[in-house]
Amino acid sequence: MKKNIFVKLACVVAFIFLVSVYKSLNVGVVGQGWFQLRYSEVWVGGLIGVMLLYVDYYFYAYHLHPQESASVEARKLVNQKKYLDAVYVVITKRAQNTKLIFHNASFQVFFLVFVFFVVTSSASLLGRGIVFGMVIHLLVDMLNDKSSQGNLDSWFISFPIEVTGVNQTWYLAAQTVSIFALGLFF
């Protein structure tokens, strides 16, 4: 589990770093622009955004599907005050948790539109960092599922149209390109 969180945090830090370098180069001097202390809100927001999506697992275990084996096991561990073990159980059994609120393609499409509005319309650096942290968290989860399962079927269960095989790969590529394109507006 620590590796899972570390990879997501590292991806967010790398993304914000690349955007910061890009913004600094636009200023003309590396070291100025987005590397100033006042932009630390973006970095903090990115870290918050990554952690915020773990709430999805809480809702799944306690409210959406409390009867499933992973949910029962996680709640038992929480009652024993083994919180990290409980999170680990729910995350490692991700393939069984097909009805998470945030970890699906329908939410991702909606959320990417929301990210566009936040990035282009909001002056809040913290808000921008949070939405980018969340969207990178979802992207990393999709990449993990694609590499471990060979498909993204669990992401498209509640999607209004059937998306299989190569179309899932195109969807993943479109999401990745969209995220990096929005980073330019950042």
CA dihedral (61, 69, 158, 176) in degrees, to 10, reads 70
Once rounded to an integer, what is the mean pLDDT over residues 86-92? Answer: 79
Residue 130 CA to residue 115 CA, distance in Å, equals 10
- Give Dmax (Cα) for the chain: 57
**Predicted TM-score (pTM) of this structure:** 0.85
Quick one: pLDDT at residue 111? Answer: 93
Is residue 30 scored above 60 in pLDDT?
A: no
What pLDDT is recorded for position 136? 93
pLDDT of residue 35: 63
- Comparing 153 with 170, which gets the higher pLDDT? 170
Up-side HSE of residue 133: CA atoms within 13 Å toward CB? 25
Stretch among 11-15, 32-36, 115-119, 179-183 having the lowest mean pLDDT: 32-36
**Residue from 178, 168, 94 nearest 132 by CA:** 178
pLDDT band at 27 (very low <50, low <70, confident <90, very high): low
Query: Hey, what are 115's tokens?
Result: 């990210």
CA 153 remoteness from chain centre = 18
Which pLDDT score is estimated for 32?
58
Q: Which of 7, 30, 22, 10 is nearest to 180 (CA)?
A: 22
Cβ–Cβ under 8 Å, residues 21 and 30: yes
